[in-house]
Structure 1
């Protein structure tokens, strides 16, 4: 009897649970029916009015951009370049390209694609929020013509109703025509005709398949996929469009592959009309918002955009451009060499100043130029070593080395024998840096650099960065000034990396907060390693390759010059501000002997002296500083050699090498994947030595 009673008790909860589930399901069905009924009633009532796409529901309103102190610095409005055309003028290949990549069931659905909505709902439920997704061409037209860009359930429902109404009132050809005249292509171009003129200098009816595929790929992210801003990304996006066209039967495989290989003939970019202060920063902020909310939201919906820019620092940054010599003028009428400067608060990631070049072109070198860092990469090798039992006084033998035929050399052409890692940093020695990276494994410096925000490494394929030449800055692609400056901020912030921030918050025209950005940070290296590296890089500024950057108060930094003087860098920091300066030609040809320790260091110094003038000087440990005294000049090669010998004698007298582990011992630089829990790089294939000749000379001072 007890057994039957127990069995009965075990069954009851299951029965009760099934009842609850059925009740919830029934209630859900009732709610759905009610919503459907209300929606049908609303839709039926709204069908009586035919949409007039000549008018927007909301009157256009300019957006305002504010600096860190709340002062308005820009009024952003649409300078629309819109030239409507009839659908008959639009090449069939361009129509097909848009349908293939944006809405492959356009000719089958009635304005709303249930499959797309199902995918979007699933994504939203999983993400616990509302995200764009599943929108048909008709829905996009409804959204662009009538609605704000806010991402809410209400706005999505309105979009669906309007799309159904449009499909009832217009033919597919009419809808596609309106859509192609409405869509934003970047560079101020609205519609396919304006885009064809902007990018190719021709009418839309004259576009070939190559150009059609390129145009169809741009609206997904008009700034990023603009071939005038990012040709490589635009080419990759074009390939996606061609693959979609092949998938849905608009072109065959051979045509798709042939078109992918065709070069793109673009017209010269139009110079920016704005020549005011912070124009590159304002453009950068504007494009980030366009990518997120759409052009209409930014240009017509009266957003209030609060940014991180400090206009006093910005003015100081822009004043440094006058120090840049002009050796030649390129085909676009721009003076060469060009430059970029970025300044960031290392504690919260706020970008305080940004110069993307001289002149008024569309290319922001601070955020878009991916250039070889040269010796400016070496601190990532040094900090990886400090995280793996090296110290600033660990001794390395500066002597010839042959790595499968690759023989790195120092810029001076000489070898100094036994040197400490502090000296290696101070004089930017190449061979000892390679030996340190070889002992660690190049994966460790790459790992730490990635954790500090460097996103441009190539880790797979025949040409990749898992080679020792990377230790000298010989990367496959390179780095942007913004990312490497942000990465150095990790050293200034005691080993904690904070992602760059340019937008503090965005409000709509009614004061509703659309976004508010808090600093995103993560601990990358120990505070002790960051302090030791900073101490080493202070030596660079006091008496090494970076003495022209000496601002008379505690500062640390590193020079960088690549082979043939194509790129010159100085990236450095005080306890409260990190700044990076890059100089080079846009076409990646050699400059006239510009080195990182010369002009970039001088520009960095000129900027920093003004930028930190109102900030009390302090040491990196937080104590008050009385300054360094006199500001040094760059030492020539002879003086550097003499100083090296003097420093070496001092170190020998102190018997530093007796107290510290020697190069080659297990204690000095253990092999493997590191020794500190939580700091180990992800599993990677073995490092491949560079081909003979690769990376030689890439780590000039």
Structure 2
């Protein structure tokens, strides 16, 4: 028995103390209670134990009953029906929630729109037209909008060009184009970016009229709702006409009429097929494709539009080919003219003059278009010829009447490259061009043009101002010192009268910038703008009256309603006439024998002062006649030094070229008081008695205030070696200098 179990491979179990009879008890499969089984489910055969297998006969194979196979099919069909039902159910649930979400979005978007019934087509944006003193148009600012053009008045190919490139199915959709959206989506996916848009002309109009340009989903949904509203309220032709008269074409032009005038110089009613295609092509990217700034890009886009027009049967293939091969564009150049500096300056002051602008206006100015052109040419041509030689990249010019009316302004050599106005906004060191305020302060303190001062080396606590030529002339008159721009004399005078008094004088005459009251102010180290320095010279030219530089004389609406009229200046006398005459006498000499000898206007009495800042960073000349006061500045925006460009060089050349042309045909007039016998004869009578105070020491006066000169004693005439013509006698010298004999 034990051997049999061993042969059958049985395993002896540990008894753990149980009786042998109980330890051998085992349950066979037959002894177990069968579990409940499905009749349809085939029964799995119970494997026999090894000791129960017949060694001679293999166990028979069991076959699945046919009934079981049919039940599986029925169960599969049942499961399929359940899945399909569930799909329908969840699809319905998803559709319901999607519908709810769409309705919610529509309600939310509509809640953030103004009431549809209150929506109106907004007014055209205001246009600012700037005209010259002769009434001619100088520039336009704001959102330039041309007059409305009726659709029926336009050549038929013009609106068709927009339909061909922007919305081929314009006349068949209801504001939105699902086919166009799908096509754009596919194109964008293929190109892995935004290469096409699906907006219709109606959507674009809705965006232009009512919405901002931000790219958000909310704005896009608002655009869709407004497009549907526009389609419901207006006919297709009305929508197309509104679109053509409101769409932006770049360069500040809104509407086809403004764009046609801006780019082609003619009405939209007269554009050619090629020009119509170019206008339609601009809508995609008006700033980038403006033909006056990017003619190649505009031409390439126009060819695409022409091809689309031919494809849509709007024009024949022959017309498209002819327009592409021989375009008839006559594009006006970009608004790079320097008059745009004037327009920008006007834009900055309009708010102070008339407040917020909500209607189109006309601004009448003091600008003379002819003088503006001459000033522009003078700056541009001189820089083109000599900017490399002298390392000068920029220039500015301001010309105004002695009453302060600006006749010409150039804020830079090229407005298209830089809109920074160097005539108004930039502040630079004037150098010796600031010296007239020191000399005027001294004249008002009792000195005269023939007062003697010492030109000699100076040491102020380690600061040693030197003359440009490093030469010193000893005893010189104030006239000589100013004409030759002697730095040591100017510094001595500044200390003598006091830097604070010099600052007061400059501010009284029109300098508005902050000035540092220190000894170096005599050499023009405090920064000023071109326009305020020219305005501060104006009292010398008009007999001592204060002026406010101005360019706007009147502002009116297109209907003629006057919104602003400039009133005359009431600044009164800022220089006594006799002091102004003395200053004119001194500054006349600057042009006759001083640093501005090249500045000459045949037949005219002219005066002025040159200026060169430290390290040749700035070169100035401010000169004037009884007709115009003109200032020129040349330098570099980064304040880098020039190659020894001085005020007596390039600035004088620019000034002379401009002033000679500006004075052609103008009746000759003398500077105030310079021709009056009373002053001159009185000066002649006292010439022999002209005396000079001893030159002040190099030591800085305590307190820096004005110190009256000591009692005058007779003094010999100036050193002939320093001033040869002085030996001929003061009377003859003054007459020669004043009247150019």
TM bracket, shorter-chain basis:
0.5 to 0.7
How far, CA to CA, are the matches of 1:303 and 1:402 in structure 2?
A: 59
* Greater Cα shift, 515-524 or 569-578: 515-524
Q: Within 2, Cα distance between the matches of 1:451 and 1:52?
A: 60
Which residues of structure 2 form unaligned runs of 5+?
1-113, 146-207, 220-250, 254-332, 677-683, 709-741
Is the partner of 1:406 in helix, strand or coil? coil
| Kept in 2: contact 1:309–1:502 (CA 8 A) | yes
* Cα separation, 2, equivalents of 1:620 and 1:670: 38
Name the structure 2 match of 1:59.
124
The structural deviation recorded for 1:527 is 0.8
C-alpha contact 1:570 1:596 (8 A) present in aligned 2: yes
Shift of 1:673: 6.2
Query: For the residues of structure 1 that align with 2:217 and 2:352, how far apart are their CA atoms?
Result: 27
Whether the 8 Å contact between 1:316 and 1:610 is mirrored in structure 2 is: yes
Partners of 1:88 and 1:455 lie apart in 2 by: 50
CA RMSD, Structure 1 to Structure 2 (Å): 3.6
One of 526, 537, 561 as aligned partner of 2:576: 526
CA distance in 1, matches of 2:435, 2:117: 61
Closer/same/farther in 2, CA of residues 563 and 61 from structure 1, 3 Å limit? closer
Secondary structure of the equivalent of 1:498?
coil
Structure 2 equivalent of residue 84 of structure 1: 214
Residue among 446, 449, 452 paired with 1:389 = 446
Counterpart position of 1:444: 501
Deviation, 1:453, is 1.6
Q: Does 1:501 align with 2:550?
A: yes
Number of residue pairs aligned between Structure 1 and Structure 2? 404
Q: For 1:345-364, list aligned pairs within 5 A.
A: 345-347=401-403, 349-359=404-414, 360=416, 361-364=418-421
Q: Which structure would you say has the larger Rg?
A: 2
Shift of 1:430: 0.2
Q: How far is the alpha carbon of 1:537 from its aligned partner? A: 0.4
Deviation at 1:660, TM superposition (A): 4.4
- Residue 623 of structure 1 and its aligned partner are, at CA, apart by 8.3
Alignment of 1:589-628 (within 5 A): 589-621=640-672
After alignment, is 404-413 or 431-440 more displaced?
404-413
Matched, 1:68 2:117: no
Q: Quick check: 610-619 or 70-79, which moved more?
A: 70-79
Aligned position for 1:322: 381
Deviation at 1:591, TM superposition (A): 1.1
5 Å-filtered alignment, 1:337-348, equals: 337-347=393-403
- Give the match for residue 336 of structure 2: 275
Offset of residue 513 of structure 1: 1.9
1:389-425 per-residue CA deviation (whole Å, 9 max, x = no partner) reads 0100111111222222211111111221111101111
Contact 2:401 2:627 in 1 (8 A): yes
- Structure 1: stretches of 5+ with no match in the other structure: 1-48, 90-186, 190-271, 330-334, 459-464, 626-650, 677-701
Please show how residues 474-489 of structure 1 align to structure 2 within 5 Å: 474-475=525-526, 478-489=527-538
Contact 1:492 1:575 in 2 (8 A): yes
CA offsets 1:644-697 (integer angstroms, 9 cap, x no match) = xxxxxxx9xx8665x3444459xxx99986699xxxxxxxxxxxxxxxxxxxxx
Structure 2: distance between partners of 1:570 and 1:469: 20
In structure 1, C-alpha distance between the alignment counterparts of 2:545 and 2:117, rounded to whole Å: 54
TM-score w.r.t. length of structure 1: 0.53
CA distance in 2, matches of 1:450, 1:469: 17
| Alignment match of 2:348 (pick from 287, 308, 320) | 287
TM-score by structure 2 length? 0.50
1:125-156: CA deviation from partner (whole Å, max 9, x where unpaired): xxxxxxxxxxxxxxxxxxxxxxxxxxxxxxxx
Distance 1:53 1:378 in 2: 65
User: Counterparts of 1:425 and 1:615 in 2: how far apart (Å)?
Assistant: 29
C-alpha distance in structure 2 between counterparts of 1:554 and 1:574, whole Å: 6
Displacement of 1:624 after TM fit? 8.4
Query: Match of 1:547, SS?
Result: coil
Taking a change above 3 Å as real, the CA distance of residues 661 and 290 of structure 1, as seen in their structure-2 partners, is: same
